[in-house]
Structure 1
């Protein structure tokens, strides 16, 4: 009896057809991933326009506009992955794209901050359906012997999402309207839906119950903890609101762990993290995206406020970051196989930390110097991202592809949200502390560039310098966190690699 695998090997035509299908699936899933990841970075470019728009958001509301999408994305991405395993991964991707588009339209039509936040939350829910199930679709469409390389390539391409978001977002926002960003993304979303519909095939389903209590606790705990970080500068770190948010967030986090340990089908079983490879890869992902999107959030405003760049120029200013990611992305899986996982990761985290630190010293330098540090940063992303993607996914069996994709996506988005929240919070505190004396005496002290300029248009130079000082402090903090966490990730990964070798 000839098996299907043997038949494929005997028929070159079928083999070519399978290769073509795998390539189309990789292209379609990568396009969807770049869309939902890139939109995080694209919105960063809109911050100056939003700050001076008729919405009139304060500094905390600006951070919520950026982070609401990412937090919902992060919290729901694991149950969305489990849902895909249960009802169909391809269907979940297409449904997610439809919800994502609905959120975009809501944002474009928003005339108030609450309406904008509603649209961002809806889009985050759609993105949560898309990302983990793209991984599931790719895993089940790829032969086992090619799966690790395909995932590494998907990881490298998805790493360009932030840069693509900056470029496309800059082009759309250069019209001078923040609404153009949301309207412009709608047809792109529809095209991605067509690509998935034509390029992806349905895969076998695995019954997985949806952990509603665990999901609710995770969402509530995450919003409270991030709320404490975001609202700290506005209300004071010792205020009842901020302290209460932190305390309640921690209590709900503990409750979440207890529920997950006792429920039959948990959202994410904490016992999985006994595996050193899974733990190290997850922490590595959070760290990588913490530094990445902290930089993207700051860079968009730095280019516009301190260098006087247009929105399009600010988007193009991230191009130096892409050079090493494009040139090295395909080579890194082979490099890691040759020299080892942990040495590759070590080089990546050192480069990211050095890049962030160097950028903090080059904000007033000619752009060539600033661009050179972006290249260093890009080398770090190019080295670390494909390795972490492949290691995290391979640490769980293929039948849990949705959960693996969900965990990978959750760590990505938690890191992104944390990077934006921390970088934004540090920048706001530094900005307020370095404002010209005339503005520091104002009550309340303005916490956005647009707010400060409205009070004293003649102090533009001093206001821009205050923003740069706050951003430099945030970049240095990001560098320190990345290097310290990177040491931990490398040590854990090294130990796991040695244990696996024996």
Structure 2
């Protein structure tokens, strides 16, 4: 007998899980100086503390959704939640930076299996006439995770220790698992197939590129290990593209149909998302540390002082949503990117070792408003540039590429930081951060150019022969889960 879902408890479990895995994107940022001091980590170790979570999270998003379609969404969701909980305990117990990085990678794998399925499970459990309200609560929870991540990280680190930013996940996971076992209903898409070869190729390729970028400055860009990692990573990504094309030609189900990139709007919106994340979140990685390393704030004080930036999406999104419905998402995207670039340039201009925090309030707020205006329409625009049957893959790809942009942003901007400065003194930290911020401005500016190339009103003319243009067939029945994998506000 098929289990009937409990609507209220399904909302509680899925929203809580989405909050938890979204929170871990940014919660660690204000704890990085303490982690550096306690574990003797350098810049490279801090980069991997963040990237070890976001890299598998991004790469395995589509795979997590496909596994849910094939093996059962309830089963994969609960398995992912268990893996995330175990990874959190491992991170809290980590005796060294290497152990912490490994545990963060386990967390990232679990998160990739949890988040793609929260919306699918929730949408199936809630009656259609109440679905909008339920999804609104879910979206608010993920937006709240982004806004309060640095604040919670700072408060927990200061009030207890940095280990407790991971320990708090454990009781939540232990409570959510039995509730999920009782409340969630199982569902699957039996025709869904797994592209495990594609997932392995893109994972290996992106790991190689990230590894090379992280180690390049400290070990030399032409050193054997760094050069080998970059070359092998690029070959891995190229092999992934070739494999996906081969799977499509043979009538299979590629993880990411390459032929969708022939649609101008699809290519443009994905370039926009990736470049935005590269510039914005690489900057957040450095500035969150600057508040403590340069200006002497405690972790909690630093978290509070990021709120003019990180809390803006929570405040602006309810106002921007109706505007986006009336005028379309593209104008908001463009306005948001202009404000983001302006805010980052303002920060880079005023940043100095002796300035007061009040000098950062203005640029923080401008960037925060811009971030909100970007987050609100990006998912809708990503769906609007492709036909309905491809919306699952389109949104899933957009979310994954945004996460990957954050990974590359931390690696690239940190390389600039270490080339021009370091942790030796406040002045040295500023000397490295300022040129890194200018690179962030350039990345967001390139995202703006990509956004301007998104066709107005979607990008597909009426009657377009999309199957001929894309070369891909119908999206499989469960693939909508891939499209709703990550909310627009989940960084």
TM bracket, shorter-chain basis? 0.7 to 0.9
Q: Does 1:237 align with 2:199?
A: no
**1:154: how far off?**
5.4
Report Cα offsets for 1:57-90 as digits up to 9, x if no partner: 2322221222111111111111111111222323
Residue 90 (structure 1) aligns with: 74
Residue 381 (structure 2) aligns with: 391
SS of structure 1 residue aligned to 2:161: coil
Change in CA separation of 1:323 and 1:178 when aligned onto 2, cut-off 3 Å? closer
Match of 1:126 among 110, 126, 129: 110
Match of 2:452 among 464, 481, 490: 490
SS of structure 2 residue aligned to 1:372: helix
- Do 2:147 and 2:313's aligned partners in 1 also have CA atoms closer than 8 Å? no
Match of 1:317 among 295, 305, 310: 305
Change in CA separation of 1:254 and 1:196 when aligned onto 2, cut-off 3 Å? same
Question: What residue ranges of structure 2 are gaps of 5+ in the alignment?
Answer: 465-491
Match of 1:77 among 61, 67, 92: 61
Q: Does 1:40 align with 2:45?
A: no
Pairing 1:158-173 to 2, within 5 Å after superposition: 158-173=142-157
Pairing 1:103-142 to 2, within 5 Å after superposition: 103-140=87-124
Bigger Rg, which one: 1
Change in CA separation of 1:207 and 1:501 when aligned onto 2, cut-off 3 Å? closer
Residue 65 (structure 1) aligns with: 49
Pairing 1:275-424 to 2, within 5 Å after superposition: 275-364=263-352, 365-393=355-383, 403=393, 406-424=396-414
- Do 1:153 and 1:329's aligned partners in 2 also have CA atoms closer than 8 Å? no
Residue 255 (structure 1) aligns with: 239
Q: Does 1:271 align with 2:259?
A: yes
Match of 1:221 among 187, 205, 213: 205
Residue 431 (structure 2) aligns with: 469
- Do 1:156 and 1:385's aligned partners in 2 also have CA atoms closer than 8 Å? no
Question: What residue ranges of structure 1 are gaps of 5+ in the alignment?
Answer: 1-17, 433-448, 453-462
Residue 158 (structure 2) aligns with: 174
Q: Distance in 2 between matches of 1:94 and 1:332?
A: 34
- Do 1:214 and 1:260's aligned partners in 2 also have CA atoms closer than 8 Å? yes
Misfit runs of 4+, over 6 Å: 142-153, 396-402
- Do 2:15 and 2:137's aligned partners in 1 also have CA atoms closer than 8 Å? no
Kindly report the root-mean-square deviation, in angstroms, between the aligned alpha carbons of the 2 structures.
3.0
**1:337: how far off?**
2.1
Q: Distance in 1 between matches of 2:255 and 2:266?
A: 16
Change in CA separation of 1:289 and 1:140 when aligned onto 2, cut-off 3 Å? farther
Report Cα offsets for 1:350-380 as digits up to 9, x if no partner: 1111111112233344323312211111111
Report Cα offsets for 1:166-198 as digits up to 9, x if no partner: 111111111463222211232233455467567
Q: Distance in 1 between matches of 2:408 and 2:173?
A: 26
Q: Distance in 2 between matches of 1:486 and 1:235?
A: 34
Q: Does 1:189 align with 2:142?
A: no
**1:111: how far off?**
1.5
SS of structure 1 residue aligned to 2:313: helix
Give the total of aligned pairs. Answer: 454
**1:480: how far off?**
1.4
SS of structure 1 residue aligned to 2:295: coil
- Do 1:156 and 1:329's aligned partners in 2 also have CA atoms closer than 8 Å? no
- Do 1:132 and 1:405's aligned partners in 2 also have CA atoms closer than 8 Å? no
TM-score of the superposition, structure 2-length normalised? 0.83
- Do 1:135 and 1:405's aligned partners in 2 also have CA atoms closer than 8 Å? no
Match of 1:481 among 428, 439, 443: 443
Change in CA separation of 1:468 and 1:64 when aligned onto 2, cut-off 3 Å? same
Residue 485 (structure 2) aligns with: none
**1:332: how far off?**
2.2
Q: Distance in 2 between matches of 1:26 and 1:384?
A: 26
Change in CA separation of 1:309 and 1:219 when aligned onto 2, cut-off 3 Å? same
